[in-house]
Amino acid sequence: MWKDVLPGILSRFLFLLSTDLHAGLVWTSVFIVFHRHETKAMMNNSGPRYKRSQLEKRLNTDVLWCVLLLIIMCLTAAVGHGLWLKNLKDPVFQVDTDTSPALAGFYVFWTMIIVLQVLIPISLYVSIEIVKLGQIYFIHHDLALYNEQLDCRIQCRALNITEDLGQIQYLFSDKTGTLTENKMVFRRCSIYGVEYPHEENARRLEVYEAEKMEAAGCSVTLKLGCSGRSLSGRSLSCKHSSVSLHTVTEEEEEEEEEDQPSNHIQHRTSAFCSRMTKEVVPDPELVRKLNWFCSPMLALSDGSSGTPSSLELTYITDFFLALAICNSVVVSSPSQPRHVVPETRTPLKSLEEIKLMFQRLSFSPLSALSSLSPPQIKGSPRSFTSRLFARGKTDTFTFSTPTNSTTDGSEPGRESNQETSNLRREVHSSSRVESGGDAEQMEDRETDDYIEGARTNPEGARQEVEGLTGDVDCERATDDELLYEAESPDEAALVHAAHAYRCTLRGRSAESLLVDLPGIGSLAVQLLHILPFDSNRKKMSVVVRHPLTGQVVVYTKGADSVIMDLTETPKGSEQAREIYSLIREQTQNHLDGYAREGLRTLCIAKKVLEEEEYEVWLKGQLLAESSIEHREELLLEAAQRLETNLTLLGTTGIVDRLQEEVPDTIEALQRAGIKVWILTGDKKETAINIAYACKLLCPNDQLLTASCGSKDACAALLEELKLEVQRGVDGLTGDPGESSSGGVGGFVLVLDGRTLDWALQEEPRSDFLELSRRCKAVICCRSTPLQKSKVVRLIRDQLGVMTLAVGDGANDVSMIQVADVGVGICGQEGMQAVMSSDFAVSRFKHLRKLLLVHGHWCYSRLANMILYFIYKNVMYVNLLFWYQFFCGFSGSVMTNAWVLILFNLIFTSVPPLIYGVLDRDTAAHTLMELPELYREVQTSEVYAPYMFWITVLDAFYQSLICFFVPYFAFRGSSVSELSFGSPINASALLIVLLHQVIESHTLTWIHVLVLVLSGGSYFGFVLLFSLFCVTCSPPTNPVGVETLEMSQPLFYIVCALTTVTALLPRLLFRALYNTLHPSAVLEPARMDKVDSEKYRRKMQRWNLSRSRDNRLRLCADHPGLEPSTASVVS
């Protein structure tokens, strides 16, 4: 049994480690609960949706028209044969007079079905699949879509919708990990209503960015021919190519070398642990306050002299403790396997000292758990940041003694001090009212005695502080060995931020956590429960029992829209409630400011449970966990019962940078006529800021915000916004949704998750669709995965447009599967989006070339090939149909059966395939520079319904010329039917092949070779057939027919005249049309030729000026040199 089960489990990201510790083996036991189709991932997987391209659907319609044409032609032949027999009198040849004309006509109908069945392009479907394989091959091997840093290239997982890439009208994109790097870096925070800007941290990020840009200027180009890395498998195999795949900067190479682990465990746990994430520079003001907290020489005062209050310090320590333990981060090191809590080291302070410190701080119901003090600082706060900013060594600082002066002269620092001072005075006065007088006097006496002792013996006090700091520094020596493996980059960024303030997560097991607290050392925290994050609650919680107080504490982090509503106003004096309200107000202001800066925000809160309250909740939780039916709903209810009446601690702001070239990509997509929607779970302000940063929003755009609390209010607001947009449309000449960034501003709609719920319901849906259709872009904030899929399905079905959804995480899977084309990004959150997608790329910028170039090419190639295939079949079949008017509609043909079979099977089968794979109507750089050209294929102009009938009429005309020119040339002669059919077949072949030359936009040596081989194979076959085949086509005898015909000048005159007459109208029409209606393609092509000529002349002059130098002259006529490089050589 286990032999059958284990492979199914091990294939789903389960790692088994066998580690040798202290010369002993650690055995790992695996207990399997669910496997294979019983796992949650498999049960949530609804399977791939079969997708058919729009081109394939239209082709099916045209094939039905071909069937109708075939039936009409066969009925015509059947009726004609019946009438011919009926009116035939005294025939000079043998005729079956026993069969009635009606029955003979019925027989002829089915005979003509067999003869003319080529009209139905069954082989076209096979040819399309072959062409798609060729297109996918070139997409897959496009060097511009290869990411060398990730050693990853594009994956084409759907083989039947490549042409849909050229018809996208709506693009739905996730934000985090799709538009951004998904490499979270802690930027700033707000605690106790006080904002800490972390200016040094901001400058650190600017330095990284500047160094990266500077290094990109002097990048090291890795050529494939010289690369030591094998490009097989996921990478490309181009050993003999000298084309550069990517430019890897020196800074990036150095960072990769530093981040490269030395063993297997480090290699797998290095996710989300880049240098930018780990090297968090603490804020000097926050460090100064922590220094007051741990200083044994200074008492906690009322804040009048710049010292923090006890309540503020409680918030700060609870805040960082929550950052360290409220997560699912796994800790490991080279000497420690995962999920193992190492032996707790002796705390730096004695247990009595820790309890005494907690008693001094446990004064208010707001701080049931007041965690421990950070270590001390040596040196001034101004100098510690310079010593701290050592690249790659984040834990080499020591805390300094407190000073009353601010450490940063910037405006944020002064504002932070002012906020702190105001809140501190109010909180300290309220705390004195609530605290007993005796405890306050005892605390003051203890502090006075300690300060007096420090004054009488300053050397001893100094030695004590330095000894404590030395112990902390020794303890930090092992921190570099810790490796954090997080489920998301947010968790990793917050854990590293807590580590920067000396609140370090050292170990984790299923039942406990090992945390290093500043100034105390390692403490084992009993882990009672973990309530993981889900899209409904939008938060995560951990329930722990504090090792010192023994209280049950709930630490929660989540979206501000949820946490702020779950916080309670504490019971107590009026002044305490006012202070807490002020804290909430200040925190909300900071949240809005973070969101306007484009930062990702999370709120941190806590709750202290009484034992009775915890026991009651535990019963409901255990019941939900053991329930078989409605388990998910019961767990959700239990979590919601626990996560109420929270105490707000603070908020964090995490920066997530945009990916490179995202603004240019979105701007190009909008110019191409693609409407871009952003569906994100972030705050409204954050989404709007990102939209401005990526050029989805322009300064001249009008922002429409919809935020409602009820269905009726939503319907009324949508109606009002629709009228406002309608008035704006009346004042414009065009659709505002089609305005580009450089033109007239359009309307951009912004909705939150609750309003989106109402808008997707039945009644407001029509107004929402009409409003969104007229808007340039739509931004949906705080949206859940289910809402994303509903939005995509609504737009796809109701508006009847082609949709593309792109995402990188598991929460984007439903959206990707619902869209017509799903694109997954190989990001930081696993491979679920990639596995569910039709195409997978490594960066968002690759969508630009994938859609504008490959999408354009794939659609135009297939559309033109389908039209050419239909033309070829109709043209040749009509030759057989016209002959029926001269043979009594008997179903006879004027050629031998082998030529009839091989004409479409061999002689004219390969050119359409080459045409569909290699033809390029526009160069790639032109399509990239002029995204407006995408509209031609987006609106199906290449394969519009009328194009089918134009093609059929052209085929009818050419078949008439091809048949009747030889007919009138041989009229009255005694040639046989095979001799009459010889110039017809030869002319038909030349017309079909030259027709493709006229329609082709690209003519390479491959095209010429295939055309020559196709024509040569026909003439070679018929000549050999005429020489050696005596009994191959009874009752006719083809021996000598072709050799005789090809030996006469009339044969070549007829073929030439027929070919020119048949193709001349199409050639004249195309020349006249391009003259009267020049397309946007011709002007870039002409400019390319002009630029190439200018570049050639400039290079000639440069060569002449350099002719006396002993340098290698550049060839001015080198075809590989781009005209854009002319500016380099002046």
Could you list the active site residues? Answer: 174
Please, which residues have CB within 8 angstroms of residue 1083's CB and are 6 or more apart in sequence? none
Least Cα distance to 998 among 1064, 1055, 943, 953 occurs for 1064
Look-up of token digits 């938060």: 539
- HEC assignment per residue over 401-452: CCCCCCCCCCHHHHHHHHHHHHHHHHHHHHHHHHCCHHHHHHHHHHHHHHHH
Rounded CA-CA distance 21/449 in Å is 50
DSSP string, 278-312: H-PPPPHHHHHHHHHHH-SSS----STTSPPPHHH
What's phi and psi for 1092, nearest 5 deg? -65, -40
Look-up of token digits 């030996």: 1047
Amino acid at 646: L
Look-up of token digits 């709750």: 607
Rounded CA-CA distance 278/280 in Å is 6
Look-up of token digits 């080279």: 334
Least Cα distance to 496 among 201, 773, 767 occurs for 201
Rounded CA-CA distance 822/965 in Å is 53
Radius of gyration of the chain (CA): 39
Residues 300, 304, 307, 313: what is their CA dihedral angle, to the nearest 10 degrees?
Answer: 70
Q: Which two tokens stand for residue 964?
A: 């009747």
Ordered alpha helix ranges (H), 679-784: 684-693, 711-730, 753-759, 762-774
Q: List b or e across 1002-1027, with b for residues whose CB sees 16 or more CB atoms inside 10 angstroms.
A: eeeeebeebbeebbeebeebbeebbe
Q: Which two tokens stand for residue 468?
A: 């404590």
Please, which residues have CB within 8 angstroms of residue 1069's CB and are 6 or more apart in sequence? none
Q: Which two tokens stand for residue 811?
A: 């929460």
Handedness of CA 312, 313, 316, 319 (dihedral sign): negative
3-class DSSP state of 129? helix
Q: List b or e across 239-264, with b for residues whose CB sees 16 or more CB atoms inside 10 angstroms.
A: eeeeeebeebbebbeebeeeeeeeee
Amino acid at 703: L
3-class DSSP state of 889? coil
Q: Which two tokens stand for residue 167?
A: 């018809």
Q: How many residues does the chain have?
A: 1130
Kindly give the pairing relationship between strand 675-679 and strand 170-173. Answer: parallel
Please, which residues have CB within 8 angstroms of residue 1002's CB and are 6 or more apart in sequence? 918, 919, 920, 921
Look-up of token digits 């590293």: 496
Of all residues in the chain, what percent are helix, strand and coil, respectively (each to 5)?
55, 10, 35
Q: Which two tokens stand for residue 823?
A: 């694109």
Rounded CA-CA distance 853/5 in Å is 46
Q: Which two tokens stand for residue 205?
A: 């990020």
Q: Which two tokens stand for residue 432?
A: 């004195």
Look-up of token digits 């135009």: 860
Cβ neighbours around 190 below 10 Å, total: 29
